[in-house]
Amino acid sequence: MRSEREYVAGLYGRLDAERARVKARHRAALRGTGGTPLERDDEVRSLGREAKRLDVADNGLCFGRLDTLSGDRLYIGRIGLFDEQDDYRPVLMDWRAPASRPFYTATGANPEDMRRRRQFHTRGRQVVEFTDEVLGRPGDDERGDAALLAAVNAPRGEGMRDIVATIQAEQDEIIRLDHPGVLVIEGGPGTGKTVVALHRVAYLLYTQRERMERHGVLVVGPNPAFLNHISRVLPSLGESDVVFVTPGDYVPGLHVTAEDTPEAARLKGSLKILDVLRAAVADRQRLPEEPIPIELSGITVRIDVPTVEWAIEEARASDRPHNEAREVFTEIVTYVLTERAIGRLCKGWLTPDDKEEWESQRAHLCKQLAEDDRFAAALDELWPTLTPQTLLAPLYESPERLRAAGADPALFRADGAAWTVSDVPLLDELVDLLGRDKAADRAAELAAARERREAAEYAEGVMGMLELDREEIDDEFSLLARDVVNSVQLAERQGERDTRDLAERAAEDRDWTYRHVVVDEAQELSEMDWRVLMRRCPNRSFTIVGDLAQRRSVAGARSWGAVLTPYAADRWVYRSLTVNYRTPAEIMAVAAALLAEFAPGVTPPESVRASGVRPWSRKVTADELPAAIEEFVRDEAGREGTGVVIGPPGVPGAVPPSETKGLEFDAVLVVDPDKILEDGPRGAAELYVALTRATQRLGVLHRGALPKALSDLVER
């Protein structure tokens, strides 16, 4: 034990020295003047990322050791460390390195040239104990599970923990899978599919860093609570170039405030809505009801139907998005009006052969049109500049416009701008159909540049007040102020170059493309959602996580092939996880009975453990329900870990099952399961989700009849 403690203490000493060295280089880079501004900026960013990576390694730096048959010892940990004095010999192997793989995959039957696996149990920076597995023994065909059981039985905290010390062979195979396209990971509740996907991201960033680090990774989760739950995993593994979003966040700056009916969600999620969107755009390209008079040099010319028909035909034939095609429309209308005006103004003395004078007259008239408010208003009426919001909101509010676009009347709503999650893919699609409003984009760029200059001025003021010696900056706050100043000054030298970190830039840029995308609860995504995500990742590198049996959305996936084949016909592979590490056998037996009723062809995952605590139920009256819920909350407050009340709308203090997807709690109280079953077309899947959130204890309160699948619960 002493030698292991000394070795791990030595690793922490190396970590501290490396951290100090990187931070010193980072400070020097901030002060540096050598090289080009771009080279200096890249160095600052690179050293900043390395400093973050080293800062997260304190917790569980080294968690095990492998002894090979040849007598070598390999220490396995969160990051890699090397002995610079001994030809950079590895003193700690990164868990993602090929040499570390046997730590997760070696068994007695297949020891992979390993003699022993040692698992450390640490508190802070100190090894408190370890467990050994001697590999290759006759009959010893399974990995020892002491560390795994300790991890799955531990009380749950605020967020998801990484499993870097306890990855199982089934999981490790998926994490390290060498597949450049789309990987689908399907597994029932508690199989660890989410955390496996996140560790796969960390592995890909480790093995393909040069290819991936400039574009980053997008992680899509079902709701903000879920993203908050998983958000610590990748930073704990030293990876920060990751953007976390929900399907409501695809369009930067948009706020979802409403919820669709199931029928509206189904209609919006189908690819058939594309025809509606195209027709809605075309409907805003209008013919004038009456000719529109325009005054030019004292004469009146008119924008009539034949002129607009020709202009619309030419603009559409350009294959440009609507807003960009407005330029073609304007050119045609301008040409017709100026031709007519010149013909009348110069009749009798100017012939078409006098090209120079003709063009001079045209330039003069074009200038008049460009400054004419009536002409500008006519263009806005016939071919308006549109944003996705100014097209879609009026469409929803108008039965006439819906009818003209061939839309189902079910899409009508009084407040068109009360955006729902199902609207977001439509708004994103419209960005491409409409194209950019260049004037608005330029205004936004100028505003951003102004904000950066103001930030520079503020930071310079702070530094002036502190009277800092620029050669001796050690204070964190002072260093931050200096970083802001240097970044902004660099941006000014580079033509207002963006100095935000990758995750910030990507999250605010609708056109950003990622090197890899992780999609969790993927069975809930509609066909339109998949169009958005495929647009974000042109190289089709995805890790997709889901469970078709838990699908709730009427617009969601019914098969993986149906949603993926149009985009990656021969580039997607399927893997499944079959072991439940979260839900004890007693609780899973109840959930499996429900699963057999609504998805009889699906095999439930096998629980790796039993808790010894049987789930219970209690029938209560409406008057007794609040007190029974308070009793559960009070009892769980006195225990270590987390608890939650899950129920249908109207239950005091309860969250809906949909808000708990992907989450886990030590104790769960499910209220009114019969009402959950009645709530929508996928009520059984909702109840299945609710029952499988618990890692230790499950209780059920019911006012109505207890569903048949729950009849084996112990009555209290």
> Would you list which residues are annotated within the binding site?
187-194
Other residues' Cβ atoms within 10 Å of the Cβ of residue 483: 18
652: buried, middle or exposed (CB in 10 Å: 19+, 13-18, 0-12)? exposed
CA 150 – CA 263 distance, rounded (Å) = 46
Residues 485 and 462: their CA atoms lie apart, in Å, by 10
Q: Rounded to whole angstroms, how far apart are CA atoms 565 and 559?
A: 10
Mutual orientation of helices 355-370 and 322-345 as an angle, nearest 10°?
120
Q: Which of 278, 247, 253 is nearest to 528 (CA)?
A: 247
Say which residues have a Cβ less than 8 Å from residue 526's Cβ, sequence separation at least 6: 265, 268, 269, 270, 422, 425, 553, 555, 556
**Residue 109: strand, helix, or coil:** coil
Residue partners of 18: CB distance under 8 A and separation at least 6: 54, 81
Q: How far apart are CA 273 and CA 406, in angstroms?
A: 10
Residue with tokens 């040499």: 99
Beta strands per DSSP E along 552-672: 572-577, 579-580, 606-607, 616-619, 643-646, 665-671
Residue 187 CB neighbour total at 10 angstroms: 23
Least Cα distance to 260 among 426, 419, 428 occurs for 419
**What angle in degrees, to the nearest 10, is found between the helix axes of 683-691 and 585-598?**
170
CB-count exposure of residue 373 (10 Å: 0-12, 13-18, 19+): exposed
Binding-site positions for ATP: 187-194
DSSP for 495-531, written as a single string? TS---S-HHHHHHT-TT---SEEEESSGGG--HHHHH
To which residue do tokens 């629980």 refer? 607
Nearest to 549 by CA among 709, 708, 684, 695: 684
Strands (E) across 46-164 are located at 62-68, 73-77, 81-83, 89-94, 114-123, 126-134
- Measured in Å, how far apart are the chain's first and last C-alpha atoms? 48
Structure tokens at 377: 């208003």
Residue 312 has which token pair?
A: 């619309």
User: Which residues make beta-bridge pairs with 185?
Assistant: 545, 575
Structure tokens at 2: 């002493």
- Among the listed residues 69, 136, 126, 57, the one whose alpha carbon sits nearest the alpha carbon of residue 95: 57
